[in-house]
Chains A and B, each alone.
Chain A
Amino acid sequence: MKVSLNWLKDYIDLKGIASNDIVERLTMSGLEVEDVVDETAIYKDFIVAYVKEKKKHPNADKLSLCIVNTGTEDLQVICGAPNVESGQKVVFAPIGTLIPKGNFKITKAKIRGVESYGMICAEDELDLSDDHSGILVLDEKVNVGKSIADELSLNDTVMEIAITPNRPDALSHIGVVRDLAAIYNKEFKLPSLKLHESSHKIKDFASVEIEDSENCPRYTAMVVRNVEIKESPEWLKNRLTKIGLRPINNVVDVTNFVMYELGQPLHAFDLDRLAGHKIVVKSTEVESTFTTLDSKERKLPAGTLMICDGEKPVAIAGVMGGENSEISNSTKNILIESAFFNPASVRKTSKRLGLSTEASYRFERWVDPSGTLFAAERTAQLIAELGEGEILNGVIDVYPEKIVEKEVPLRFERIKKILGYSVPNEKVISILKRLGLKVKFESEKEFRFSVPTYRSDIEREIDLIEEIARINGYDNIPTISKISISLGEKVDESSFVDQTREIACSLGFYEMLNNPLQGESLAEITGNRIQVLNPQSIDMAYLRTSLIPGALSVVAKNINVGEKTLHLFEIGNVFNLNPDKEKIESFEDFTEVQKLLFILTGKENEKTWQQPEKSFDIYSLKGIVDSYLLRLSLDKVVADSYYNNEETIFDLYYTKSYKGKILGTGGRVKKELLKQFDIPQDVYCFEFDLNLLKSIKSEGRKYKEPLKYPKSIRDLAFVFDKSVTYEQVIKFIWQMSSELLKSVRIFDLFENPSLGENKKSMAFSLEYFSDERTLTEEEIEKEFSKLISEVSKKFNATLRGT
């Protein structure tokens, strides 16, 4: 909300207080000043000047050469505006002036060969409007040689204040003044009322009836007759433009002015357009349509609170008036509405219609129910003054159930308990009194205060403590330098994931983070997707069901910019609706699972001067996954299953499982899917369910004494049928060997016509040793030769010459 400092000063004496102090103190007491425009600083160098003479520029058709009198001297100035004429009073920027628009300084310039000593300004250059059609021509009355800051009353300080939702009472100048009065311990005054009421009684001209008093607890109306609708006077237009409002006519301007003055939204009806000169406040019973004063037809759901006349709705209560009763230039008689509506009701209507106005913004937060009468009177007085109207005698004030001031107790010792320091009782009482609270009961330990109705946020003891804290200043709360830590059990639920990240990094992977919101085409690939009701765009309408589609998009994007080798990992949650569910009604209807994804593509090694290049392949992926599990000490308990057929993502894949539960799946991404992402190269990935992986108790690591006895190593190579797998052979080797065999490693694999058709050679290196003794040549030889003959028999394999 924009607040004018000059306007504030109408109600409180701030003499001798610098504007930056006001900004600082407001911010530090909870009304955060987000931006400040100090007009005096901006406009102090601009002066009113008189155009003595205007000639054509000797070298340019569209430029004029002017002699400008600044009150002290005559200066030659080149001007490009079409409307400059001699005899005008204009805004002049002498050399050295900083121009607000574009933030540049005026210097002595030579324009088309002629020197110019300053600039005659247009409105846009002064940041007063967007108008650049010509220079700003001033009124005859302004004084030449004076600063425009004074002459054009450009001497205000306008603050943009962020009002938090708990402080609707501060959504007006008086609201800000009340806080300033408490902060500086000063008095403030409300605008004074001088009502000249006519002898005609309002009751004879209008009536008000509330049918729905729950949603409209109070409705105050006044009538001003024979008003002349016309332009507002300068002072009023000036007040409104300073805070960013566009003046319209005296009636509309007054209602806006009073809203920003007192915080009470007001509405002016053309009384003669109200059927039966009557106001009825009621909620609609069926769905209907209504045309608001912005000429838009709006659909109203049943149960919308409306202001009606004797026949029809004339305004959406608290939101916007109707076209059918708005003020026009021919309006003569005006009914002023100053009401208090139920905040939740206004909010509901505003949300349903998607229509938020300055009025609804205030009503849905809370408007002072005790303030409607004063606001109505203030409005009537100003409309009558500015439109030469006649205020009818009396007020219609329908207020069936008075909203009373709340009483809130305060125990002084609680202040220290919450804030950590004591505030003297007298100071506490003084602060609360300055904020408009009254002492209703007092004892040594406890006071009870009544709270003015505009402070809807003060209901409990803690609310009073907050007021004391903020007005006394958060800076006065001590910053302690010692804390005590209890020695109970500490948990770190992120430790497993942290460990996973460390391992992934040590394996050469870079972490990525993807937005879990994605388009349908991605979310539908992998699971039973969950839709967002109100997405920002169709690209972000679903939650991811797997980390893979998002990662493939990243791969595609990077390949596009020339990054063709990628080794990335991601840890993130994926979301799936349970298959038998249509809609989420409880936490049991969907799963949210933390997953880990390794994804790789491109070259495992670049070609270097020492080694040839090598591309990532399925075995790179397997190795990485196994190294990860080894580091977690899960390598011994997790089993592999291999599949050579295609599924939704892979054309070649395998799983890791524990006690029959699949922990993760990975493999080579199938071509068809890669094509969908426009990825021209092989991609390998593996996705783990971290929730499951985390739940496995690893065996942990125990110390093993370094081997004291020598190892014996034996190599063997066989020619097998091509169909024999590594896994079959290795399982058989282990099965056929005693506990003396400690490790088997495949070190060579090749196919060659010389081996025969459909044959391949696999060579293994076997390690034998015992923890207790040195093995003899004989026992190893015995075991080894037995193995050779068993393998030959089992697989019909031929031992190759060693």
Chain B
Amino acid sequence: MLEEKISEINSGFNQDIATIKDQKQLEELRIKYFSRNGLVSQLFDELKNASKEEKPVLGKSLNTLRTDLTAKYESVKIQLENSKEKEEDKIDLSLPGTRRIIGSKHLITQTLDEIKTIFKGLGFSVVGGPELESDYNNFSALNFPPNHPARDMQDTFFITEDFLLRTHTSPVQIRVMEKYKPPIRVIMPGLCYRNEAISSRSYCVFHQVEGLYVDTDVTFAELKGTLVSFAQQFYGEGLKYRFRPSFFPFTEPSAEMDITCFLCHGKGCRVCKHSGWLEILGCGMVDPNVFGNVNIDHEKYTGYAFGMGIERTALLKYGIDDIRIFFENDFRFLRQF
């Protein structure tokens, strides 16, 4: 009889467990079969009444039954738990995450950083100088004679007759050459001021990077090589360039460097004024008069210098058509870069 009951309970359990859908039903199942008064326990109670001969056999069957059923119960329990976890896992991944705000440097600073990185790689140091300068450092020491029309090339904001807002970063050249002995290889970034009419192409303040290299064997050929290397790193390989004679009082010979207009690839467009070329910087060999003003022997040493405007460079590189936007600090602009 007991044996029949065993198989009865076994099949009954199998039927029951197949219908289990949740924890509650599972608990009911556990109580029904495995609790103190549950069906399986009852069978063990009944075992006491079995004959001595039957007892071992039945006991074994009962144990097997309990092990089987417990195993099945456990496996369903795990299944249920897993599926419960999955239920909880079903979160809406499409909801937006919590963003962290990372700010950014001004586009001008970013452009300056790029330029700085390239020149540091070419062995240049980085130094600065004041914006409120003496007329001597800004002009006279740089071989702009007083009362000379060359001064008209740079409209100047004066503070007094002898002090002014620097019109270029070149006075830092004077400061550096007064302070250090050659070899000197530095770039000098900074803010400059010009009293020019404000328009989409020109603003009264702007940034420049000045470069200076003074040593015993510095030549125009090296100047060309260095600047071409810079331009290729900054604007991209394979660009065409040219050096055009120009005039700056503090360099001689002087040149302006043009690269192929990267908007029209040299065909001529509005940006390059239909010339196919874009002027990117001015440069030249340090004028012996400048060396004289800072007591460097111009027979022994030669040097080159160059300077470029950062706003103009950034305008070209990012396709911005109004220079004034750099100083307006519209948050919607600042966040774009």
Contact = CB atoms under 8 A, between A and B. Distances in A.
A793 B155 CA distance: 72
B252 interface: yes
B77 interface: no
A523 interface: no
Contact of A514 (B158, B219, B329, B334): B329
Contact of B127 (A474, A491, A509, A592): A491
B319 interface: no
Contacts of A208: none
Contacts of A561: 330, 332
Contacts of B335: 510
Interface string B208-229: 0000000101011110111011
A474 B204 contact: no
Contacts of A557: 328-330
Nearest to B158: A533
Contacts of B150: 165-166
B109 A516 contact: no
B160 A583 contact: yes
Contact of B224 (A477, A492, A536, A583): A477
B239 interface: no
A507 B162 CA distance: 42
A493 B220 contact: no
B53 to A, nearest CB: 63
Given A418-B219, A515-B204, A536-B204, A166 B244 contact: no
A337 B63 CA distance: 136
Contacts of A530: 132, 159
B222 A483 contact: yes
A587 interface: yes
Given A32-B244, A462-B288, A584-B159, A364 B131 contact: no
Nearest to B223: A420
A232 interface: no
Contacts of B288: 460, 462
B245 A470 contact: yes
A461 B220 CA distance: 16
A508 B334 CA distance: 12
Interface in A468-497: 469-470, 474-475, 477-483, 485-486, 488, 490-495
A516 B131 contact: yes
Interface in A26-57: 27-30, 32, 34-35
Contacts of A554: 329
B278 interface: no
B103 A165 contact: no
A378 B113 CA distance: 59
A165 B327 contact: no
A378 B223 CA distance: 46
Contact of A478 (B116, B217, B221): B221
B139 to A, nearest CB: 13
A543 B132 contact: yes
B109 A501 contact: yes
Contacts of A543: 132, 165
Contact of B246 (A164, A491, A534): A164
Nearest to A366: B149
A514 B334 CA distance: 13
A479 B255 CA distance: 14
Contacts of B219: 416-420, 480
A569 B329 CA distance: 11
A301 to B, nearest CB: 15
B126 A462 contact: no
Given A478-B224, A481-B225, A510 B159 contact: no
Interface string B138-178: 00000000011110110001111011010000000000000
A534 B221 contact: no
Contact of A418 (B96, B147, B273, B285): B285
Contact of A505 (B102, B128, B252): B102
B126 A166 contact: no
Interface in B180-225: 183, 185, 189, 191, 193, 195, 198, 203-205, 215, 217, 219-222, 224-225
Interface in A605-636: 608-611
Contacts of B302: 417-418
Interface stretch (B14-22, B40-48, B117-125, B259-267): B117-125
A348 B145 CA distance: 13
B148 A165 contact: yes
Contact of B331 (A510, A516, A583): A510
B55 interface: no
B253 A469 contact: yes
B104 A491 contact: no
A512 B106 contact: yes
A558 B335 CA distance: 13
Contacts of A490: 120, 123, 125
Contact of B252 (A466, A475, A485, A495): A466
B130 interface: yes
A347 B253 contact: no
Given A490-B125, A516-B131, A573-B191, A348 B109 contact: no
A166 B253 CA distance: 12
A269 interface: no
Q: Which of A166, A477, A479, A554 has the most CB of B within 10 A?
A: A479
B334 A511 contact: yes
Contacts of B72: none
Nearest to B332: A563
Given A480-B221, A532-B157, A485 B148 contact: no
A469 B254 CA distance: 10
Given A480-B225, A485-B122, A608-B98, A573 B131 contact: yes
B1 interface: no
A423 to B, nearest CB: 12
Contacts of A164: 246-247
Given A347-B149, A536-B198, A483 B130 contact: no
B149 A364 contact: yes
B34 interface: no
Interface in B88-125: 95-96, 98, 100-106, 108-109, 113, 116, 120, 122-123, 125
A534 B158 CA distance: 6
Contact of B147 (A29, A348, A481, A509): A348
B152 A568 contact: no
Contact of B327 (A470, A479, A513): A513
Interface string B311-337: 000000000000000111111101100
A300 B92 CA distance: 84
Given A32-B246, A469-B220, A493-B126, A531 B159 contact: yes
B311 to A, nearest CB: 10
Contacts of A315: none
A214 interface: no
B30 interface: no
Contact of A568 (B128, B215, B217, B334): B334
B243 interface: yes
B127 A532 contact: no
B106 A513 contact: yes
B329 A486 contact: no
A686 interface: no
B120 A474 contact: no
Interface of A: 27-30, 32, 34-35, 164-167, 344, 347-348, 364-365, 416-421, 460, 462-463, 465-466, 469-470, 474-475, 477-483, 485-486, 488, 490-495, 498, 501, 504-517, 530-536, 540, 543, 554, 557-558, 561, 563, 566-569, 572-573, 575, 583-585, 587, 590, 592, 608-611
15 contacts: A421-B221, A477-B221, A479-B225, A480-B225, A483-B225, A505-B102, A508-B103, A510-B103, A513-B108, A513-B109, A513-B326, A516-B191, A533-B157, A533-B159, A558-B331
Given A479-B224, A573-B131, 20 more contacts: A27-B244, A28-B244, A32-B244, A165-B150, A165-B153, A166-B150, A348-B147, A419-B253, A469-B245, A474-B245, A478-B221, A490-B125, A505-B103, A506-B103, A511-B106, A513-B106, A533-B157, A540-B204, A585-B160, A587-B130
